[in-house]
Structure formats: structure tokens, C-alpha cells
Chains A and B, each alone.
Chain A
Amino acid sequence: MNALIDTRRTGAQILWDALRREGVEVVFGYPGGAIMPAYDALLDSPIRHVLVRHEQGAAHMADGYARASGKVGVAVATSGPGATNLVTGIATAMLDSVPMVCITGQVPSHVIGSDAFQETDITGVTLPITKHNYLVTKVDQIAPTIREAFYVARSGRPGPVLVDITKDAQQATTVVQWSERPVCLPGYRPEHRARATDLSRAAAMIDGARRPVILAGHGIVKAEADALLGEFVERTGIPVASTLLGLGGFPASHPLALGMMGMHGEAWVNRAIQEADLLVALGMRFDDRVTGNPATFAVGAKKIHCELDPAEINKNVRVDLPLVGDVKETLRGLLPLVARGERAPWLERIAELKGDSAVRDIQQMPHHGRLFAAHVMHDLWRITEGKAVVVTDVGQHQMWEAQYYKHDHPRKLLTSGGLGTMGFALPAAIGARFADPGAEIWVIAGDGGFQMTACELSTIAQEGIKLNIAIINNGYLGMVRQWQEFFYDGRYSATPLKSPDFVKLAEAHGLTGMRVTTREEVEPVVAAARSAPGTVLIDFRVEQEDSVYPMVPAGADLHDMIRRPSPIVETAHD
């Protein structure tokens, strides 16, 4: 053999080499015909592969891995159905700006367009739900494309990137030239920086405000700006409202932390926003779940919008001063310009707005032997000392978690905010486990969403990993049932839900299952789950027709909230 032939590598080998060079240690995937060359070469790569049970799980695992670590998550699938099964997971990552690279196999290049077996135009399918995507048909394109894909996924406003590689490109060989130069894409300018004059204007607006509120979003977590936000709040004395994905970006235990805003935000948080004279929005995008009716949203407030993506400016809410740039850099620029502030009258007013909320809080209500989901969340927070990584699914339990599990640190709450993807929690938690092998991780899911991806229990068993799973089982698709109760005259269309015996389901997978039906059982069972070496699933049989309060109906004014009837036990249904 001459030296030249020895240095030739197949596209499949180059793919794994390229992933290694991007720092990839683990990928989540499922093999199939068009990706078989890559799977063959995988055996000779140090990269760990986690075999999922459905490709949607692979995408959510890559997503959970990325959210927990801040690194790029990787999912692998074959062509056709393998690739289309990724779609929900890709859309989830797109709406929450999660850096992710999906590798899909594609039919050989000479049959593309012929409706070949397992052929899907996956770059066409994923065009609107990826930050960018690529179809690779030549072996020489694999190395530079993977490099570019990771750069695009992690830079600027992060997002999912899909790389579709034909089977023949994986099989062909080449002598690869690894580039050490930074990626240069002539049309891609992801970095922006707020101008000094705008920062000065912002500082003057902040110093002059008497009733300011900070709106902290996912951008604080992504930009790792939590420490700077803390400094900024200490200096200016401005209270902080968080979006769902912003929770943990500012410590919930801080005296100036108001809590979550929006549809299921606490009443005083939404009222404070409506009474504010200045909103400082940091890394958030005025989602409709946050603003309620945009026409009546904080009409008396000037708005400063610190946001990395220029396309978000004036999209949902008109702002007075956009500061386009990385929120960390913006805060760093603002800090020396703003004056020390105390806002005693404003904080007193907010305390007044809180009023009887604490008394109406379900935590103050007697449970009379019933098990309320909100009590489970509160107890989980107390028992785990608020330190666990909590991965929630979508629905009522997700909102109760956001209200009652107080996060003091970023990347400790992983949830599908933008897309609201049921089935997210279990696979995302598996991904988070690989990002942080030592963390205490709790999956919190409803009985509905859990069943959408419950097949991944097998993945947990095969990989031998430890998770704690709390199923908040109320026998309904609870959030839809709640809307039906409030807005559809209590006509429960397709929301009553029969589930398998979750304890037996866990046991069938070789995992441990437990059941909790009263509040007294919560603490000992949670303690047993935490100390067990393997994965434990707890079936919490909670009140069936409890609702999440307060609630701003979709499209209503932010101050127009449905409050929890008081006292709760008289109104809860049996």
C-alpha cells in the first residue's frame, strides 16, 4: 500500500472525525439503510452513541443535552421516516433557540428526485424549522459542512442545523484537508453590538424611571449573563419578572425576584408590569403567552428591548429603544452607566399588589387528605433543596412546576416553551443526564405527554442511567380540560385519558415504579427514589380536575386574570 491510499478516508469516517473535532462526545440516534455507512464507521470512533426508540426522542435528547450543557447536541437518523421523525424535535429546538446539529442519511445522489425507497426531501421539509440546512452529495463537502453547521448552530442566536448526507458521499473516499481557520460565511453576520449612544440613552431612561421592571428571558441563560444581571439588579434596585424559559436566570430566592410573568404568571407580577413606567426586556421576545393582548400590554411603560436578533425588534410589541446585541455585552456596557437606585415606593406598591395572594396560594390551603399537584411541586422543591435539574413536559404540571419549584440557577429548568411539545420531558432528561452525569435530575410529566415518548424508558434501561420520574397523573389531558372547563362550558371533548399502570410499566422495563396517592406519602417516596441507584418512576395520583391559577385567557389583557377560587377545597371537584 502506498502512503496516499492509507490516508484516504471514507465520508463516513470523516463524519465522525469532524464531529470529534467539534468536541462531540455523545450522539443520539437510530440506524437505517441510508445512514449505514456512518453507523459502520461509528464502531471505530470514540464517540458514544445512544440508541433511541424513536427518532423524535433522539432530537429531544440532543436538545436536552444542549440546554443542560450549553454545548451543541447531536442527533443522527436515516433517510425518509427516520428524518421526518426528527421534525418535531427540530421545531422544538428552533422555537427555543437551542443549538443542535442533526445528521441524516439520504438516498444515493444518482436517485435523488426519483421517489426512491425511504427518500424524503428533508432539507425541503425542515427549511422553515432549521436555522440553516445542507444537502451533502460529495465526500469532499462533508468535513467543511460539519464545521460550518456547528458554527451556525452555536453562533449568534443559536438554533438547529440539519446536514443531509447521501449514502454515496458516505461511502466515497478522499484525502481530507482539515481547515484550522475560522469559518467565514460571507452572508452570515450573527454578531451585533448596541451603540454607545443608545446605551447612554438606555441608562438615562433607567435612571429616570420610577416604576421599572426587568423582563428576563431565555437569552440571559443562553448568553450566561446571569451573574451580570445580578450585578445590574443590585445596582439599580429594579425588580425582575421572568419568562418561563428565563426562570433560573435570576435567583428566585432574591428579594427582587418577582417570579414568572404571563398567562400563568403570578397576579402581582402581571399587575406590576401593567403599572410599570419602564420595561427593560433582556433576551426575551414578547411572546403572546407573555404579553396577553399586545394592544393593552404595559401601555404606560417605555420599553427598552435588549435582543440579539434584529428580526425580533418591534415584532409583537413596539419598543422605544432597541439595543441589538448579545445581552451579556449589553449589560456589561450598561452597568457603569446606570446610577445606584433604590425604589422603595415602587417596591411597596408591588408588595401591596401581592396583597392576599399569599393567603390565596394553594400552599396555604389545607389538603384534607387530597393530593394536589402544586403540593407535589412544592414538596419536590423542598426535599431537593431547589437544586435538582427539572425537565418538564407540557401542560398543567409544567406551569405548576414553574410556579412552585423555585430555581436559583440557570440551566436547571429544561422545558419546551415556544413550541409546547408534549413528550419532550423524558427524552430531554436522558440528554441532560449525558450532559451532567452527576446531577440530580427529575422528569416531571403529565400522564398524557409521558405516553407520547414513553418508549424511551427502554433507552434508560439499556443505557443504565439514573433519572427520577414524576408522573402527575390526573386522568385527563389536564390543560385542555381546564380550557374546556373555562371556555367551552365544561364539555370535556377527548380529554379523559386512560393510562397503563405506570408502576407496572416501569417494572416491565426493569426499572422501579412507585405510587403516591396522599400528601403524607410524598416525602418518604421521593426520598426512596432519590436514594435508589436506578431510575425510579413515581405515579402521583393527583386531584383530577384542579386548574392552574391565575390564568390570563389567550388574547385577554395581562391584568385580566382568572384567580383561584378561595378556599380551594370547597371548589375542587371530587
Chain B
Amino acid sequence: MIRVESLHKVFGPKPDEALRLLAEGRSKDEIREATGDVIGVQDVSFELKPGEFFVIMGLSGSGKSTLLRCINRLIAPTSGRVLLQTDDGEVDVAQVGPRELRRLRQEHLAMVFQRFGLLPHRSVRDNVAYGLEVKRVGHAERVRRADETLEMVGLGGWGDVLPSALSGGMQQRVGLARALATGAKVLLMDEPFSALDPLIKMQMQEEMIRLQRQLGRTIIFITHDLDEALRLGDRIAIMDDGRFVQVGAPEKIVTEPRTAYVADFVAHADPTGVITAGTVAVPPEHQRVDELRREPGARVLAHRTQADVEIEVADDGRVLGMRADGGGAELVPIDTLLAEEAPTSRYRDRAAVVRADRTLRTLLAARNLCNLPVLVVDDEERLVGLVTEREIIHAIIEKRGHNGDANVVTA
């Protein structure tokens, strides 16, 4: 969908000289002294699939906003390519002429801004229709699509008021609607929720997840908030000093931070929504799981911290049953338990079954409802592993699975 290749941005009087020195491996301070130039973005490359939600996370001054603006050329990159997939093939945004650039911005690259950037003298509807207006879409069609998009972001009926009459969260919904209304496949979002109150911010994030599920745009989302990045991103790039220091799925970022810089961030992140059940669970082969005995076509297992609970697992991996306190326990999918109006808490006659791709948070809920080991299974109901308090606490404190019990990175 979009491919960025070796993008550099140098601010200052001698960008070519600075690039040459950079290629020679000089440090940024040396380059600044020699040329007076500041390196904003250094050698960033990435590729996004259609429908991917890519989050670039970094502190202020890390170059993330500059990078985003290089993609639609609000800031002209010094070198590198920004290849955008369009109906007429691949176009390099960094190279096209001014007319073509305007067309690309109108058709393919919409943007949402931290400080909203709404036109204060225009009604909400006319703000949302702005992108269509510069695209020369007719008035009736514009109004229709603007109202439709406003409906989509939960602002149906607000079309006639001026933006100043709306709260911050609502104004950003207008900003979002303006970007969605153009139909652009790529959405550039520059810290869109940073200016909002924490509660509103959460709502907007949920809204964003819902809209993305519905619309499937390709999104590049900038934030300085790791929890936000973890919540929204299919993939996250951590940016520091103009470079990507780590790119990966949210769980990988949290469980396997590659540098001390990333580990530092992760230390303060909330892991419960990120780490998956599959990572937390101890597999049957682990030393913490004992095989009590073999039976024809099956094994009977027990977790060491709850040795009195017997779990019978068929040789193909399916769980046959669980026995506790001398009786069989019922195996119930977690969603069924959660859907119960008044769940019978902590009974030892029921055990929760959780899919491996669910999160640590789900495990916490499961463990809260049943005082038996939680069974983590894969898509075909085969046992992935067991979870007791011990694994949950370990995951929360260490922010990784039990597999890396040997010393890995610590911040």
C-alpha cells in the first residue's frame, strides 16, 4: 500500500553535505558542528499492507511528526522515497510535481491533526466537506457524504454548528470525519488524541478501533503514549533521535524490548491488554507441569502450584476433562462465563477455557471467576498450556512469558 525507503530529513543550510557526512558514519553532533544542520529523520524504511494500523511512537523531538509530514510532503524529505500504491501504479510522493502532489493529497492521503486544524468560520458540515470541496465534488454530493461521515463518527445532527461550539473530543471527531470523508485509503494521524482528556481519549481510541474494523484504512498513527500505541497498533515502531529503534507487534515490543530505550518505555506500560494468553500459559512440557500418569490415548497432568487438580489431555492435544476435590469440573469457554449475569465466583467445579490469542486481561478475569487452572487452547481446541496465579503475576511484573525465565533484558 505504502512503502517508505531510506527516508532522510535534514534541517539546515547544507543538507547534501550533512547526508554525505552521515553516510560516512559521523555522529549527529559532529554533523551539526560541521554544517549547522540538524538531522530530523535518519534512514527510515517501512512497508505497510492495505488495512494495516501502524503506530509510530516516540518522545517529543524524536522526529515522528517530521516523518509523518514527509509522507504527504508537508515537509519535503531530503532524500529517500515514499512509494504510494494508486490505481495508476506506484507513485513516489517525494518526486511528483505540485499538481500531482495536490491530487495525491486529495485522493489518497488524508490527515488528522493534534490541534484539530478545523476552519473556525465554517460549519462542522463544511469542515468535513472541505477535502471534497477542493476535490471539486459537487455541492449536493458533498453535503450527502459529509452528513454520512458525521453519522459514522457519532456526530449526526451536528452539521450546522460551528466547531467552537463543540468539546475537544467532538472537534477531533470532526477532524477524523474530514479525513474519512475524502475516501483516502491512507490516513495520517498526528497525535490525534494527545490534546484530549484521559477519559475522552479512551473513548476515541475505542471509536478508532471500531471504525478501523469497519473501514479498513491503512493508518499511520503518531503518539507519545505507549499504552495508546499498544492498544491501537497492529505494528509499532519505536522512534528515537530520528531513527526506528524497534519495529514489531505490540506483544513483541513489550515482551522483547530490543534496547534499553524501549525497555524503559515498556517498564511503565500496562501489559494486561498486550501480552497474549498463549505467551503466559505454561505448556505441558514445562517443568512446572507434572505428568501424573498415562492412560490409554491420554495423559493426566497437574500444575505444581495446584497439584490436587488433575487434567486429562488426549494425545491429540484436546482436553478431555478436569478433576478437582474428587469430582469432575465443567470446562466452560471464558466468554460464556463473562456473559453470565452473576457469575458464581471462584467455584472449583468449573474451569475457564481461553483462546491463546486473548490477552492477559482475559486471564485475570478467568482466574477471578474460577479457582482452577485456566486452560489455554489454540484454534482447534488443543491445549497450549495452563495458567495459575503464578504465571499471571510473573507476566505482569516481568512483562514477558515464563519461557524466558532465564535472565533476559531488564531496563
Q: Say if A and B assemble together.
A: no
Interface residues of B (CB under 8 A from A): none
